[in-house]
Amino acid sequence: MNMIPTNEIDLVKASSSKINDVDFNNLQFGRIFTDHMLVCNYKDGKWQKPQIMPYQPMTLEPSARVLHYGQAIFEGMKAYKDDDGKIFMFRPDQNFARLNKSATRLAMPEFPKNYFINGLETLITLENEWIKPGKGNSLYLRPFIVATEPAIAASPAEEYSFMIICSPAKAYYTDPVRVLFAEKYSRSADGGVGYAKAAGNYAAQFYPTRLAQEKGFQQIIWTDASSHDYLEEAGTMNIFFRIGNKLITAPNNDRILDGVTRKSIIQIAEDLGIDCEVRRVSVSEIKAAAKDGSLKEVFGAGTAAVVSPISAFSHAEEVFEISGSEDSYASIFKDHLLNIQHNISEDKHGWRHKVC
Amino acid sequence: MNMIPTNEIDLVKASSSKINDVDFNNLQFGRIFTDHMLVCNYKDGKWQKPQIMPYQPMTLEPSARVLHYGQAIFEGMKAYKDDDGKIFMFRPDQNFARLNKSATRLAMPEFPKNYFINGLETLITLENEWIKPGKGNSLYLRPFIVATEPAIAASPAEEYSFMIICSPAKAYYTDPVRVLFAEKYSRSADGGVGYAKAAGNYAAQFYPTRLAQEKGFQQIIWTDASSHDYLEEAGTMNIFFRIGNKLITAPNNDRILDGVTRKSIIQIAEDLGIDCEVRRVSVSEIKAAAKDGSLKEVFGAGTAAVVSPISAFSHAEEVFEISGSEDSYASIFKDHLLNIQHNISEDKHGWRHKVC
């Protein structure tokens, strides 16, 4: 493990731990946080010394730009423990690269790699006890950057906070979900910020998703904003379709998030000899496949959700049930991913990052 | 004035005022705030009692949804003082209606009208001294709502803060600005949140605007995301074009903010017998008019900017200078608006809202 040298980080330990108050068998996603957090402030043109401190409220001026102009980005990652107590992250280099892609698009300063990786490692090591072994258990890691500068001019801030908070997690969406294909609302525009993990991308989905939920569908699969003819992603997950034995997923573009789980599944498919096409997926093609019985599976892929089977979709008031199967690709990919993440299987692509 | 009855609001006055430290002749937009602010929290399914308190930092959990998912909206308004010391707002009912349109789109609870109007009136009255008479001087009012609930699940929050902060202002953009017509980047999608004053709409513009500024253009006029063929708005301003003696501006749609200044100018044009067409405006039409000399003016309209003349635009590497004229529509509309706002001229549409 590459601990940050003590001269590179300030560490103030919590005087006591909250861990004994936590029921690890009944975790709601993202509501319980560990004892510490990492904070690194940007001012005077540079990132200052990172600090690990007891998890605590933050103080913001009411004029902080994040509150007015949404200048905020984040990442979602997990740490996993194997049965020997060793702890790993999964492809943190990918999250790091994407964080800075998001930062650039939101006119924020890039964050340094050593602060990111070493900060995560130091924090995870400190929170070792919060990570439970067993597939499906993890410590969800939430690095994020917000514009803190107190000024309501509509321009990029000159002061930011990078923070990492940690929340013990079980897999998200354990039951198969029913989804709606978007026909009216959109998640992002060509030339917009859809490929970035920009805060505003998420709030924009809440209302259409609530309308979908009122119709009995938990999530929306977003379509292109211009024609609504092509399926893109699900907002917190990328989407895969299995027609016959072929896997299909939409290509990355400036509207679709470059998901780490997505790209890992594409690689695992190649490793397993599963044919995977990365190309535009039309609504009409998926409906036709659902009608003729060749649509075998639809599933979402994302860090929080891991792999999330979709049991039905609706479009133009028609509802299509997807039967699923015992040897589903969704379960094959989920097992492969979890086995790599939990140090159970071979890691041929070097995706595991040992923390301690 | 309709003061909130003392049983409807908690008021804690600042022990001293910062006003003597402020140089009112050199105000940078949005950096100086008055002595008080209004806070109204939403929890347990309802808006709680509003509080006016000394302007101060706020405390947020690091997991507050606004920091991660951009669930934040705002309004921009101004209070004006006439030469007799009477204070007015301008069409606050319009801002109130739009606040709740934004709230609905962002899956937030609607804010009550009496809290909005009476809260503004009480706060403005308290900050009376911060409002200087004279055209162009104003107190900029920033009502906003942010999701405060501490939980990083990607779903609408159940706790919010509505706040109003106030900043003394001179008119924004005093010099004519040079703008770029967007060719690659976009502000919003059909079916998106462009018509809402959603925080994320602003951060998304910072990077493309920075690229424009590096080329010598201060602002971008956004075009439709699908074709980039139609001119929409400027992000902090709506846009008007004058071809010959005809005024043209884009219609409202789900990508374009329904600006209060914009709709007031359309009404003033009607009052003055100026022909104003509200219809799609193509880039090619404006370039052709610039080339044949019929494009007389381009100007932006917004609360912060009031009316902001545009002296040049660029598209496809071509730059077009706009000469402007002494009897410009921009100056006519600006004068009309300021005269109404400052209680100098007749207010035939009942736009002035007397505060005290």
pLDDT tens digits along A237-261 = 999 999 999 999 999 999 999 999 9
Token output for A11: 């560490």
Q: How many CB pairs (< 8 A) connect A and B? A: 241
A167 vs B contacts (CB less than 8 Å): 63, 152
Chain B nearest C-alpha distance from A169 (Å): 11
Contact across the interface for A203 and B142, Cβ inside 8 Å: no
Could you tell me if B201 and B122 lie in one domain? Answer: no
B56 vs A contacts (CB less than 8 Å): 62
Contact across the interface for B191 and A186, Cβ inside 8 Å: yes
Q: Is the pLDDT of residue A4 over 50?
A: no
Could you tell me if B163 and B250 lie in one domain? Answer: no
User: Would A347 be classed as within a structural domain?
Assistant: no
- Most A CBs within 10 A among B155, B180, B218, hence the mutation to make, goes to B155
Could you tell me if B199 and B279 lie in one domain? Answer: yes
Could you tell me if B17 and B135 lie in one domain? Answer: yes
- Looking at B115, B148, B169, which one is the last position of a domain? B169
Q: Which residues of A148-163 are buried (b: 16+ CB within 10 A; e: fewer)?
A: bbbbbbbbbbebbbbb
Q: Is the pLDDT of residue A1 over 80?
A: no
State how far the Cα of A283 lies from the Cα of A292, in Å rounded to an integer.
14
Q: What is the pLDDT of residue A323?
A: 80
- Most A CBs within 10 A among B38, B69, B160, B161, hence the mutation to make, goes to B69
Instruction: Match 């009855």 to its residue by tokens.
Output: B5
DSSP strand pairing (B295-302 vs A87-90) = unpaired
pLDDT tens digits along A150-179 = 999 999 999 999 999 999 998 655 688 999
B54 vs A contacts (CB less than 8 Å): none
- Looking at A135, A169, A203, which one is the last position of a domain? A169
Other CB atoms within 10 Å distance of the CB of residue A282: 15
Other CB atoms within 10 Å distance of the CB of residue B312: 18
Could you tell me if A186 and A331 lie in one domain? Answer: yes
Kindly state the greatest CA–CA separation across chain B.
64
Three-class DSSP category at A331: helix
Q: Pick from B253, B221, B226: which is nearest to B239 by CA? A: B221
Contact across the interface for B68 and A186, Cβ inside 8 Å: no
Q: Which of A67, A104, A205 minimises the CB distance to B207?
A: A104
User: Would B1 be classed as within a structural domain?
Assistant: no
Q: What is the pLDDT of residue A327?
A: 82
User: Would A24 be classed as within a structural domain?
Assistant: yes
B146 vs A contacts (CB less than 8 Å): 67
Chain A nearest C-alpha distance from B346 (Å): 32
Could you tell me if A197 and A323 lie in one domain? Answer: yes
Token output for B117: 């109007």
> In A1-144, which residue ranges form alpha helices assigned H by DSSP?
65-69, 92-105, 113-126
CATH of residue B211's domain is 3.20.10.10
User: Would A123 be classed as within a structural domain?
Assistant: yes
Q: Which contiguous run of DSSP H or E holds residue B177? A: strand B177-181
Q: What is the pLDDT of residue B110?
A: 98
Q: Are A290 and A320 in contact (CB under 8 A)?
A: yes
Domain count along chain A: 2
Could you tell me if B213 and B161 lie in one domain? Answer: no
Could you tell me if B40 and B145 lie in one domain? Answer: yes
Contact across the interface for A191 and B201, Cβ inside 8 Å: no
**For the residues A257-281, what does the mean pLDDT come to?**
97
**For the residues B184-210, what does the mean pLDDT come to?**
96
User: Would A160 be classed as within a structural domain?
Assistant: yes
User: Would B351 be classed as within a structural domain?
Assistant: no
State how far the Cα of B81 lies from the Cα of B87, in Å rounded to an integer.
4
Give the nearest chain B residue to A223 (CA atoms).
Answer: B191
Length reported for chain B: 356
Could you tell me if A164 and A189 lie in one domain? Answer: no
Q: Which of B152, B156, B186 minimises the CB distance to A189?
A: B186
Q: What is the ipTM of this complex?
A: 0.96
Instruction: Match 């995870």 to its residue by tokens.
Output: A124
Chain A nearest C-alpha distance from B209 (Å): 9
- Looking at A169, A195, A217, which one is the last position of a domain? A169
Give the nearest chain A residue to B254 (CA atoms).
Answer: A185
When computed from its CA atoms, the radius of gyration of chain A, rounded to whole angstroms, is 21
Instruction: Match 């964080």 to its residue by tokens.
Output: A99
Could you tell me if B203 and B325 lie in one domain? Answer: yes
**For the residues B18-30, what does the mean pLDDT come to?**
93
Residue B324 pLDDT class (50, 70, 90 cuts): confident
* φ and ψ at residue B199, rounded to 5 degrees: -50, -45
Token output for B10: 């908690």
| A2-16, A62-76, A107-121, B265-279: the lowest-pLDDT one | A2-16
A201 vs B contacts (CB less than 8 Å): 70, 200
State how far the Cα of B356 lies from the Cα of B351, in Å rounded to an integer.
15
Kindly state the greatest CA–CA separation across chain A.
64
Residue A102 pLDDT class (50, 70, 90 cuts): very high
DSSP strand pairing (B77-81 vs B138-147) = antiparallel
Q: Are A308 and A177 in contact (CB under 8 A)?
A: yes
Residue B304 pLDDT class (50, 70, 90 cuts): confident
B212 vs A contacts (CB less than 8 Å): none
User: Would B145 be classed as within a structural domain?
Assistant: yes
Concatenated DSSP letters of B224-253? -TTTS-EE-B-SSSEEEEEETTEEEEPPP-
CATH of residue B141's domain is 3.30.470.10
Q: Is the pLDDT of residue B325 over 80?
A: no
DSSP strand pairing (B51-54 vs B36-43) = antiparallel
CA within 13 Å, CB half, B172: 25
- Most A CBs within 10 A among B100, B148, B190, hence the mutation to make, goes to B190
Classify A235 in phi/psi space as left (phi over 0), alpha (psi -120 to 50) or beta.
left
A228 vs B contacts (CB less than 8 Å): 191
User: Would A349 be classed as within a structural domain?
Assistant: no
Domain extent at residue A222 = 177-341
Q: Are A79 and A141 in contact (CB under 8 A)?
A: yes
Three-state helix/strand/coil letters over B292-341: HCCEEEEEEEECCCEEEEEEEEEECCEEEECCCCCCCHHHHHHHHHHHHH
State how far the Cα of A63 lies from the Cα of B232, in Å rounded to an integer.
28
Could you tell me if B60 and B163 lie in one domain? Answer: yes
Q: Which of B186, B191, B206 minimises the CB distance to A185?
A: B191
pLDDT tens digits along A329-353 = 999 999 999 999 999 999 999 999 9
Could you tell me if B162 and B200 lie in one domain? Answer: no
